[in-house]
Homo-oligomer: A and B are copies of this chain.
Amino acid sequence: MKLLDGTATALKIKGELKAEVEAMIQRGERRPHLAAVLIGDNGASLTYVGAKVKACEELGFESSLITRPSSATEEEVLEIVNQLNNDSKIDGYIVQLPLPKHINEQNVLLAIDPKKDVDGFHPENVGRMALNLPTFLPATPYGIIQLLEYNGVETEGKHCVVVGRSNIVGLPVSILLQRNTNPGNCTVTITHSRTKNLAEFIKSADIVIAALGKPEFITSEMIKDGAVVVDVGITRIADSSRKSGYRIAGDVKFDEVAPKCSFITPVPGGVGPMTIVSLMKNTLLARKQSV
């Protein structure tokens, strides 16, 4: 069993990005600039946005954080989006989800200029991904693809079972892995809450992408010997033995599944760090206007 170490892989990619930014600076060019919009004070959102700002500092990117209280109206958020679309010094930006309930997320996401949509959530970018045109790939699926690529995991002709069909992970990763690319060229099965015999599908997989958000749902009986397992789940579980009062669990029972695998991601330290570095890679792409 080999660990698909997201922290180490992200570090390698960060080194590449950092070197590229340094070369830009030496050529007298402007640094990449990522902006993040944060509405309200959701704890997890603060943590995620904080990690993105920190990654910018680490890599030599500029960052701007635009915050508003949770009482902000949809019009106010759309006005921020409009300003960011028109600010030539901002290469790319994200609007941290979830937004407060009185704001229509879809309206906000559709207002983002696809050329600055480094989260890859705009329909035009989702379509470009499906059609294999240059685009910003959504950060988590892009992170998974790079994790496979940098660790030399073969995908061509493999049967990949994706568990979960969310717009931000399950669906896009199922599209990416079936494309005629490398990584890619998998036979892909997408499963979800209406799937019958889910355990049988998972058991037939050479590659399992677990993105259903049910902690420790996938057990060793469901896994074929030698399978590759990528665990996208991140759930906080109460744990009185920890100082924090909780521990982070993935969708896979790591201890019992790992011995059967050829490759497996840990949680934390697997897909998580790859997601942030993929957002940074998209921001650099936006800076170079290569999409």
Is the Cβ of A130 less than 8 Å from the Cβ of B130?
A: yes
How far is A191 from B178 in the complex, measured between Cα atoms in Å? Answer: 8
- CB closest residue in chain B, given A109: B131
Is the Cβ of B188 less than 8 Å from the Cβ of A189?
A: yes
How far is A130 from B120 in the complex, measured between Cα atoms in Å? Answer: 13
A280 an interface residue at 8 Å Cβ cutoff? no
Q: Which of B122, B175, B187, B194 contacts A185 (CB 8 A)?
A: B194
How far is A192 from B128 in the complex, measured between Cα atoms in Å? Answer: 20
Chain B residues lying within 8 Å of A159, measured Cβ to Cβ, are: 196
- CB closest residue in chain B, given A133: B123
Total copies of the chain: 2
Would A192 and B196 be within 8 Å (CB), given that A123-B133, A128-B123 are in contact?
Answer: no
A285 an interface residue at 8 Å Cβ cutoff? no
| In the complex, per-residue mask of A144-177: 1 if CB is within 8 Å of any chain B CB, else 0 | 0000000000001101000001010001001100
Chain B residues lying within 8 Å of A201, measured Cβ to Cβ, are: 187
Return A240 CB to nearest CB of chain B, in Å. 38
The 6 A-B pairs of least Cβ separation, nearest first, read A123-B127, A127-B127, A126-B127, A189-B189, A185-B194, A124-B124
A-B contacts, 29 listed (Cβ < 8 Å): A123-B124, A123-B131, A123-B133, A124-B124, A125-B127, A126-B126, A126-B130, A126-B131, A127-B127, A127-B128, A127-B129, A127-B130, A130-B130, A130-B167, A130-B171, A130-B175, A157-B194, A165-B178, A165-B179, A165-B180, A171-B178, A180-B192, A180-B194, A185-B194, A187-B190, A187-B191, A187-B192, A187-B196, A188-B189
Given contacts A165-B180, A171-B175, A185-B192, 18 further A-B contacts (CB under 8 A): A106-B133, A123-B124, A123-B125, A123-B127, A123-B131, A123-B133, A124-B124, A126-B126, A126-B130, A127-B129, A127-B130, A130-B130, A130-B171, A157-B196, A174-B190, A175-B175, A180-B194, A187-B194
